[in-house]
Amino acid sequence: MATAFHNLSDYDSQSVPSAEGMRFGIVVSEWNKEVTGGLLKGAYETLQKHGAKEEDITVLTVPGSFELVFGASRMLNSNRFDAIIAIGCVVRGDTPHFDYICEGTTQGLAELNRQGNIPVIYGLLMCNDMEQAEARSGGMLGNKGDECAITAIKMVDFSRQLS
């Protein structure tokens, strides 16, 4: 059976609100930097493509994906942003470490979304191997960073409709 692939960078740009005047925080893991760097590039360029100005995008790094929760929490508590994008990549290894990091990070970021009035966008790749990660960070499947940026813009717009 053939597997259908979805390019993460395919979206209807007409359905994306303007990001002009929106402020974004991006917290990105240094671990698997070749992958997270591609995701960051996709997110940053997509935010700018839709109207966000360079001075309205702040990028901070943390050592690994587990630390994304703390980084996103600090950004959230700074009250400087309309949305936070958390970017990381965990590749499965031979130990259960993968499962613990993915579960803890996922639960932590989900909790931040429940607590605050600012959306925290989940940009954690969880892949079986580097080939899968590279395919999703600017490779044949597009760039999940693009998807995260579009989600952030749409969630800020959603929040503003309720203000």
Q: Is residue 2 one of the residues assigned to a domain?
A: no
Residue type, 63: P
The per-residue pLDDT for 2 is 45
Query: What is the rounded CA–CA span in Å between residue 108 and residue 131?
Result: 27
50 is catalytic: no
Say what the pLDDT of residue 3 is.
54
Q: What is the mean pLDDT of residues 72-98?
A: 94
Which residue range(s) make up the domain with 57? 22-161
Choosing from 18, 63, 70, 97, the catalytic residue is 97
Check pLDDT > 90 for residue 8: no
What tens digit of pLDDT does each residue of 143-152 get?
999 999 999 9
The secondary structure of residue 64, as a DSSP letter, is: S
Which residue do the tokens 């579960």 mark? 103
CB contact at 8 A, 160 and 153 = no
Note whether residue 5 is domain-resident: no
Please compute the mean of the pLDDT values over residues 77-97 and round it to a whole number: 93
Q: What is the CATH number of the domain that holds 34?
A: 3.40.50.960
Q: What is the pTM of this model?
A: 0.93
How many structural domains comprise the chain? 1
